[in-house]
Amino acid sequence: MSSEPGIVIVGGGPAGLSAARAYRAAGGELDVTLVAAENRLPYERPALTKELLRGQASADDLALEDEPWFARNRVAVLRSARAVALDAERRAITVEEHEELPYSACVVATGSEPARLPVPGGDDPRLHTMRTVEDSLALAGEGNGEAVVVGSGFIGCEAAASLATRGARVTLVTDEPAPQAARLGPEVAARLAGWLEEAGVALATGQGVERFERRGEEWTVHTATATVHAPAVLCAVGVTPRVSLAEDAGLALAGGAVVADASMRSSAPGVLVAGDVAFADNAGAGRPLRVEHWGEALRHGEVAGTVAAGREDAWRQAPGFWSQIGERWLKYVAWGDGHESVAFEDHGDGAFTAWYLDGKGVLVGVLTHERDDDYARGRELVEGAALPR
């Protein structure tokens, strides 16, 4: 063991693990401590709304690395641990019920937490959200017979389809006219609606939730025009970055997240950030972005770990993700600034490509189903057309 303070990574998600991996891969020799809020080793979160919720995988199947990997790479994991203070001047992390952890470099990868609707009953802890293995298992246990999913983002759509696959009667409630209409356009939204209905999901569109009411084991979800009843309700209405640790430490914030350069360096020397909590410059886009994608969390962590080891790296690729709704896959890449128009191509047999253009006709995003060549070409075009804004 080195007498020099080690590397402390706050966060046991994909960004934190990726930082530890990259630090070792870049030749970093100091001891590494990963502070994980959950009582689990880092695991694959995308499966929470898919394989785990459908009962096609167990929690143990989701581990990203096994115990021997952490031992071999001298990465100590503090499980069920909460970092309560970051002293950037003294370079130390205070962890509840543990000794203070001095650091040479720290990676803040605290992630985000599910948002709740600001309506009566919206703060009831018995409303399900989706962030952890326990969240997914609890929803699977209560939502076998009947469930309501509030929100038509990808978490909501994936979870609704997975619950229906288990045989549950599922209603998806959304204030959008069709799932993801604002983000992806009417043609794609119509396809998503068709997929969900084909899976057996009933859609209650254009209906914002006004209140939640619970009587015993039964929930009633009230909209302006209807009521929906079920023993289980999932709120999938977005996430909020966990910035309190960084904010209390005096790190610069913007856009509700922690400001960082393209090498994931925060405003405090020796403190890097990664994942949902980062509002980081993207060297390809020429401007800061905040994203909530699995792949970007991994890439942020890789950059942060490499830089912590004394080498240079920078985030520059366009953000993107894959989503599975039932048995169908979507692949998406975009800078995240929205679009002015959509060029939709129907390739037949269910395959399609949506090309997203700005007001000048420049490609800013692409989404595909069963058109991997378009996805790969679209990524190249999106990244090649990026301009500072």
Averaged over 175-201, what is the pLDDT? 96
Predicted TM-score (pTM) of this structure: 0.94
Average pLDDT, the chain: 95
Above 70 in pLDDT, residue 352? yes
What does the alpha-carbon distance between residue 211 and residue 220 come to, in Å, rounded to a whole number? 8
Confidence of residue 183 (pLDDT cuts 50, 70, 90): very high
Q: Of 298, 300, 239, 246, which Cα lies nearest the Cα of 112?
A: 239
Q: 136, 132, 138, 131: which is closest to 39 by C-alpha?
A: 132
1 found inside a domain: no
Could you read off the pLDDT of 64-83 as tens digits, one per residue? 999 999 999 999 999 999 99
What three-state secondary structure class fits 7? strand
CATH number, domain of 211, equals 3.50.50.60
Are 195 and 218 members of one domain?
A: yes
**Interval 302-342: pLDDT, tens:** 999 999 999 999 999 999 999 999 999 999 999 988 899 99
In a domain? residue 304 = yes
Measured distance CA(108)–CA(271) in Å, rounded: 7
229/120 same-domain check:
yes
3-state secondary structure of 284: coil
Whether 389 has a pLDDT exceeding 60, the answer reads: no
Q: Would you state the structure tokens that stand for residue 33, as one six-digit string?
A: 């401590």
Per-residue buried b or exposed e for 338-356, using 16+ beta carbons within 10 Å of the residue's own CB? ebeebebeeeeeeebbbbb
β-bridge mates for residue 346, sequence order:
352
Burial of 372 (0-12, 13-18, 19+ CB in 10 A): exposed
User: Structural domain tally of the chain?
Assistant: 3
pLDDT of residue 386: 62
Number of helices (H), then strands (E), belonging to the chain: the values are 10, 25
**What pLDDT band is residue 14 in, cutting at 50, 70 and 90?**
very high
Q: Which range of residues forms the domain containing residue 198?
A: 116-235
97 and 244 in a single domain? The answer is: yes
Is there a domain that residue 313 lies in?
no
280 within 8 A of 262, measured Cβ to Cβ? yes
Residues 126 and 224 reside in one and the same domain: yes
How high is the pLDDT of residue 31?
97
Question: Do 215 and 132 share a domain, yes or no?
Answer: yes
Average pLDDT over residues 159-181: 96
